Chains A and B, each alone.
Chain A
Amino acid sequence: MGWYVGKRLLQAIPLLLGIATVTFFIVHLAPGDPMDVYLDKRYRRDVDPQVIELLRKKYGLDQPLPVQYVKWIGNLARGDLGESFRYRRPVVSLLAERIPYTLQLTLLALLFDVLIGITLGIISAVKQYSTVDKTVTLGSLVIYSIPGFWLAVMLVLVFAVNLGWLPTSQARSLDYELLSTLGKILDRLWHLVLPVFVLGVASAAGTARYMRNQLLEVLSEEYVVAARARGLAETSVILKHALRNALIPIVTLYGLALPFLLGGAVLIEEVFAWPGMGLLAVEAIGGRDYPIILATSMMAAVLVVVGNLLADITYALVDPRISFDAKRST
């Protein structure tokens, strides 16, 4: 397996380099000079031109684009993501502040997706054509069709503004520092309820539909009929025999779930003022903060590559018909 992972990681290098190159040039070709956007072109007439020139020099913006590109790639290879134009701080330290928040959100949303989506899919398949199945199917379709931002705003309106049960925004309460350790944990969870729900519910709805179909297909297989004929309990038939096989294609879905959730998190972070990487990226795009745009884009690209790799590894682990040796021979 180590050989396979190593090979895949090596293959990822040119892919990431390609993504980095395309992203760099697209970002730089977009209209708007970062200094102009930050200062506002009109206001900058009041700023000492020497200061602006020094700033441009400091950030290498006075260099031709190919030179900037070569420098950026060189720095990227060394793990130096540069300094934010907006915050004037190393991008690495800005990301280090933000990534934990985004990971909390996305990983919990993924967990929600797995637990709720798969559970509802199983129930729906087992109780096919029952009221439960019809409710889950209809509910999944409705939820899948609702735009995330609208759902977020509506839930805030109901649960935060009208009922006052949940917070409107942010990751912590204003009195967080005054809480006990348990209080702090509960406070963090309390703030996670709405954003995690909104981020995870649409994926869970999709997963439930997919899971239902997969399980129904597997349940009609001969080995499941044989298991039932042997007198095994229905729970055992479903959970031990049918579910494992039905999960195989689901695993591949989750390979791409993390970058997908990261994309969704951008919107959710904006609505809930969640101080994650997505919010930082949105601000950076508006402000032409190239180092942050490039760093967050590369993070997303790496997540896609890693997600795919994890999906392949898990696929092989779940499905005994697939082995890394077989992959090696190909």
Chain B
Amino acid sequence: MMFGSIDRRKFMQLCAGSLALAVAACRRSKDRTSLDNTKVTVLYKGDERLLGPDYDSPPKFLMFLPLVAQNPQGENEGRLAQSWEHSEDYRKWTFHLRRDVRWHDGVPVTAHDVKFTMDLYMHPAVLWYRLAHAVTVLDEFTLTITSKRPVANWNWDVYYPKHLLSKLDPKKFYSWEFWTHPVGNGPYRYVRHVPKTMMELEANPDYYRGKPKIEHVVLKFGGSNPLAELLSGNVDVLTDVNRADIPKLAANPSFRVYYWMDYGWLDAIYWNHKHPLFSDARVRRALTLAINRRELAQVLNLPEDVPIFDVIFTARQFQRRALPDPLPYDPERAKRLLDEAGWRDQDEDGIRERAGVNAKFTAIVAASSVLERAAIYVQAQLRRVGIRMNVQSLEDAMVLDKLEDWGRGGEFDAAFSRFYNGKYYHVWFFGEQSRINYHNDKLLRLLQAAVNNMEPDAQDRIYSEATEILRDEVPLTFLFPQVETFVAHRRLRGLSSLFRADPLFNMEYLWLEDER
């Protein structure tokens, strides 16, 4: 029926029309950025709500200020707050705000904005994952915040304008149109956005620390094919770069690679102490000695100076590199320790055994992750000392479930996963219901003391003491801190590893070099 009325001429016309449309649609990219000397384009996963509460991510600091920020030495540095003091137990903080910070519409930022935001976070309809606080405004630029738990820093939360939002319905908080064209108080202000495509910001001329040198920042949404975006010149900056792409990008003279290490997340091998192999500290030490962690870092394209450690530590210890030397790579010593522990290869099949039990186990790891590659490397290393490790790749959520769930603990022999280097987690992890079935009362008491004592010197002391226990008992084998890698076009200047590596956090310090 449909084709009955089509003759050859019409058919040819249809084909020609389609071709013309296709040709007309093909035009050269206008996204190319490399010649625009006023603009930086950053590829970032998300959409036009990126600066709102949907995303708890670094780009929000382009537009909004926290009370304090951390400087490269890991010390608090004022942003909205000019000065601050806290109670001995770190539960009550008093902040004195700067008087020269304004919202992008010209209204001064006051203590009422901070209180409004914190109350909003805790509103039953909002519940934005924050600790319960009581906020008291003492005057326009002074406030106190009292928390249920001690708080060490205030560098992640940002605050919103009360005068624009107080009349909106908190029940629709996450749907507010404000999030797609926000009014902030930071170094950059909103210009425009194209839904699901980009958001453009411009330098704020009234920013209290001075107008940033880079005039325009474009956040291009997406990220499925970042390498193509960078190589085609559509973006200047990639954040959180795939490790496999780093050697290629490092060798390309157009780009520079920067990295930052997150001491809060440590890659580790969890040994389940219920397993006959791992109940003996000598075996755990031997397994750690058998792994060449420096070479593993190279295999994973990690920076040459990535620290290796066997302990947990405070942020300050990490920043000062005050970490004890790790166990070295020493397979011969590892073999001796395994012999001492009674694990010997008596039947010469390449696998050690003790009392008829083979030295073999299964390690779970998140599929398609960097740790999966690490697991395969470790598998080969352990084989050399007579230990057979099978690698079972699972979905990330399943690994977490087996590892952490109270109701199902012990469903693993060993696991490659991330270890959260946080005080509350330490107490939980090394506590009575430890998921690796490890118990040490002295260590637990120390970690509990660290939770209740926020003084940096005291914390360093406590963690140094805990270090001795951990080095002795090796309850788990740590690999590396999480390394985030950023790649930027060479014309973007001012970036450096470690503390100026993230362009989004540091945009106000950066500038562009003219390459025309």
Q: Any chain A CB within 8 A of the CB of B167?
A: no
B21 adjacent to chain A (CB < 8 Å): yes
1/0 contact trace for B1-45 toward A, CB 8 Å? 101101110000001001001101111111110000000010000
Q: A174-B218, A193-B25, A244-B4 are in contact. Are A42 and B127 (CB under 8 A)?
A: no
Task: Give every chain B residue within 8 A of A193 (Cβ-Cβ).
Answer: 22, 25-26
Cβ contact within 8 Å between B131 and A48: yes
Which of the 9-residue segments A15-23, A152-160, A303-311 touches chain B?
Answer: A152-160
Stretch at the interface among B280-288, B303-311, B333-341, B394-402: B394-402
Interface-lining segment among A65-73, A134-142, A224-232, A265-273: A265-273
Determine whether the beta carbon of B54 is less than 8 Å from that of A88.
Answer: yes
Which residues in window 198-234 of B have CB below 8 A to A?
198, 200, 218, 220-225, 228-229, 231-234
- Residues from chain B with Cβ under 8 Å of A50 in the complex: 132
- Least CB distance, A283 to chain B, in whole angstroms: 9
**Cβ contacts B367-409/A at 8 Å (1 or 0 each):** 0000000000000000000000000000111101110110000
Write out the residue numbers on chain A whose beta carbons fall within 8 Å of the beta carbon of B178: none
CA A116 to CA B493, docked complex, whole Å: 50
- Beyond A54-B127, A55-B127, is A87–B54 a contact (Cβ under 8 Å)? yes
Q: Cβ of A46 < 8 Å from any Cβ of B?
A: yes
Number of interface residues of B (CB under 8 A): 70
Query: Could you tell me if B198 and A42 are in contact, using CB atoms closer than 8 angstroms?
Result: no
Question: Is B505 among interface residues, defined by CB-CB distance under 8 A?
Answer: no
Segment with Cβ contacts to A, from B342-350, B418-426, B479-487: B418-426
Count of chain A residues near B, Cβ 8 A = 68
In angstroms, Cα B70 to Cα A258, docked, is 52
Q: Which of B97-105, B189-197, B243-251, B318-326 contacts A (4 or more CB under 8 A)?
A: B189-197
Q: CB-CB < 8 A to B130: which residues of A? A: 47-48, 51
Taking CB atoms and an 8 Å cut-off, the chain B residues in 489-508 that contact chain A are none
Whether A78 is near chain B, meaning CB under 8 Å from some CB there, is no
A169 touches B6 (CB 8 A): no
Q: Judge whether B420 and A42 touch: CB under 8 Å.
A: yes
Chain B residues near A54: list those with CB within 8 A.
124, 127
> A157 contacts which chain B residues (CB < 8 A)?
228
Residues of chain A within 8 A of B222, CB atoms compared: 169-170, 273
For B221, list chain A residues within 8 Å (CB): 170, 273, 275
CA–CA, A318 and B402, complex, Å? 56
Residue of B nearest to A283 (CB): B45
Query: Among B49, B198, B200, which residue has the most Cβ atoms of chain A within 10 A?
Result: B198
| A108–chain B nearest beta-carbon distance, Å | 12
- Contact of B25 with A189 in the complex, beta carbons under 8 Å: yes
Neighbouring B residues of A97 by C-beta, 8 Å? 195-196
A43 with B422: CB separation less than 8 A: yes
Nearest Cβ on chain A to B118's Cβ, whole angstroms:
13
Contact (A31, B401) CB under 8 Å given A93-B175, A164-B28: yes
Can you list, as one digit per residue, whether each of A91-122 has a CB less than 8 Å from chain B (1) or not (0)? 00100010001000000000000010001000
- For B173, what are the chain A residues with a Cβ–Cβ distance below 8 Å? 88
Is B516 engaged at the interface, CB distance under 8 Å to the other chain?
no
Q: Chain A 36-51, CB within 8 Å of chain B: the 1/0 string?
A: 1101111101111011
A41 to chain B, nearest CB (A): 4
Chain B nearest CB from A29 CB (Å) reads 12
Looking across the interface, which residue of chain A has its beta carbon closest to that of B425? A45
B47 on interface, CB distance cutoff 8 Å:
yes
Interface residue A58 (Cβ < 8 Å from any Cβ of B): yes
A selection of 30 A-B contacts at a CB cut-off of 8 Å is A39-B129, A41-B405, A42-B425, A43-B420, A43-B422, A46-B425, A48-B131, A51-B129, A97-B196, A153-B228, A164-B233, A167-B31, A169-B228, A172-B196, A173-B30, A173-B31, A173-B197, A174-B30, A174-B41, A174-B194, A174-B200, A174-B220, A177-B194, A186-B27, A189-B24, A192-B25, A193-B25, A239-B6, A271-B224, A288-B397
Chain B residues within CB distance 8 Å of chain A: 1, 3-4, 6-8, 15, 18, 21-22, 24-32, 41, 47, 49, 53-54, 124, 127, 129-132, 148, 173-175, 192, 194-198, 200, 218, 220-225, 228-229, 231-234, 395-398, 400-402, 404-405, 418-420, 422, 424-425, 428
Chain A residues engaging chain B, CB cutoff 8 angstroms? 30-33, 36-37, 39-43, 45-48, 50-51, 54-55, 58, 86-90, 93, 97, 101, 115, 119, 153, 156-157, 160-161, 164-177, 186, 189-190, 192-193, 235, 239-240, 243-244, 247, 270-273, 275, 286, 288, 318
